[in-house]
Amino acid sequence: MNFMSTRSARLFPRSCRAVLGCLAILGASWGARSAGGDEIERRRSPVVVAVQNARPSIVNIHGEKTVSTEGHASQGGDVGRRVNGMGTGIIVDQRGYIATNFHVVEGVKKITVTTADRETFIAELISHDSKTDLAIIKIDAHDTLPTINIGSSNDLMPGETVVAVGNAYGYEHTVTCGIISALHRTVQVSDVQNYEDLIQTDASINPGNSGGPLLNIDGEMIGINVAVRAGAQGIGFAIPADKALAIVAELLSTRRVNQTWHGAIVKAVEGGVVVEGVDADSPAAESGLKPGDIITTVEDQSLARPLDLERALLGRGEGEEIEFEVDRESKPVKVKMVLAAAPKAPQEAADPIWELLGLDLQSIPTKQFQREHRTQYRGGLTVVDVRTGSPAAKQGIRAGDVLVGMHIWETISIENVTYVLNRPDFASLGPLKFYILRENEPKTLYGFLTVSNRR
């Protein structure tokens, strides 16, 4: 996604800023003479402290993606145009789970992450939500990683100071400062991407800042930077933290990541997370959790928001017993829950294309295909749905895409796809190359599906 650059707000006329700059230099000199070693501490402003505290939990993301190819599915061969991408990520769990914008990692075959201490890792796309443009990626670090300090976006005020940190134009950990210009903005950035309820800021946000944090003066993340207004100066936007973290909690849920299930529906309240509802026949129901219970800790991990509940359960296996501490009608109660395997949708159990690739496909009548797609392909299959966390989802395939080929074969019918999946030499085809047509893309897109759970 291409964005125009912006400038930070100018709070004073240029002449006034020059005078203030001179006074600051003189003040620093006088302070150095009088205070000696205290000079650095005197210069350590709230913005400096905010950046120093947040910086270790911010990562830089680089990747190369193939945006199109003119090759025919039956011809094979890599003839796509490759472009370098960049963005920013925020560590939300010490085991290496990172939140970013989906457009930063969409279609990227090799996601490279560099931490603040210059270590480099290859990340895996875990889950994403294209509507909100958020995604979770994971790196396997040797040690536990520092996580971002999270604030609230519910009490933000136009005019208050904010700081953006990100990989602007590839310049890692670039810091810009400004104010909140407005709240609750709706922004249409393309024909397919619309953002609602955004924070508007004049802190400079450039290509590469996407996915990075917008911080308040206390160094707390109060937003995730997403875009700037093309053609404008000093207008950038961020997703409010409370809204973003609700999506991140779902993307990092045990159901999506571990395929396990707890069945508790929760929201944040003072002192923990409150149970709003319990799914029938779920582990939460069997444990005795009730609506109105406030979960304060899970296995000695304190909870402040739904994301903390999912983080506490992340990595726990099916059948594992977990202890919850609950405030029930102002009385402490201990509850033990046994996680279960997430129930499969009937479609997943019956359809090998859905199970193995994560695709729900629908045939397109030949005349309709030829009318809608002026191309050399003889036909294709519409992508109706993509299963979260599936090989297709990890490659950025979207509902509405048209699958026109796999490996060296055309995919005009569902039978063409099952033919590929049932071939005796299927294992030797991986990663499985695919070709799709996408609305508003003039050329064919392609990528590679890694299918590791073939029965």
Active site residues: 103, 133, 210
- 285, with CB counted inside 10 A (0-12, 13-18, 19+), is middle
Spatial CA neighbour of 6 closest among 304, 232, 177, 182: 232
| Cross-strand partners of 89 | 59
Burial 57-70 (b: 16+ CB within 10 A, else e): bbbbbbbebbebbe
Question: Under a CB-based contact definition with an 8 Å cutoff, are residues 230 and 71 in contact?
Answer: no
> Tokens 């609750």 sit at which residue?
184
**Which residues are bridge partners to 88 per DSSP?**
60
Residue 362: what residue type? Q
> Three-class SS of residue 308?
helix
Pairing outcome for strands 81-93 and 120-129: unpaired
**Is the Cβ–Cβ distance between 293 and 278 less than 8 Å?**
no
d(CA 449, CA 91) in angstroms, rounded, equals 26
Cis before 431? omega within 30: yes
Listed residue (308, 281, 436, 280) closest to 373, CA to CA: 436
CA separation for the pair 358, 388 (Å, rounded) = 8
The first and second tokens of residue 192, run together, are 């397919």
Kindly provide the b/e burial profile for residues 163-191, where b requires at least 16 CB atoms within 10 angstroms of the residue's own CB. bbbbbbeeebbbbbbbbbbeeebebebee
Alpha carbon 355 to its chain centroid, in Å, reads 24
Tokens of 112: 């490279």
Give the DSSP letter of residue 234: S
Whose CA is closest to 200, among 172, 164, 148, 152? 164
C-alpha to C-alpha distance for 161 and 235, rounded to whole angstroms: 15
Task: Give residue for tokens 């909870």.
Answer: 303
Give the type of residue at 25. I
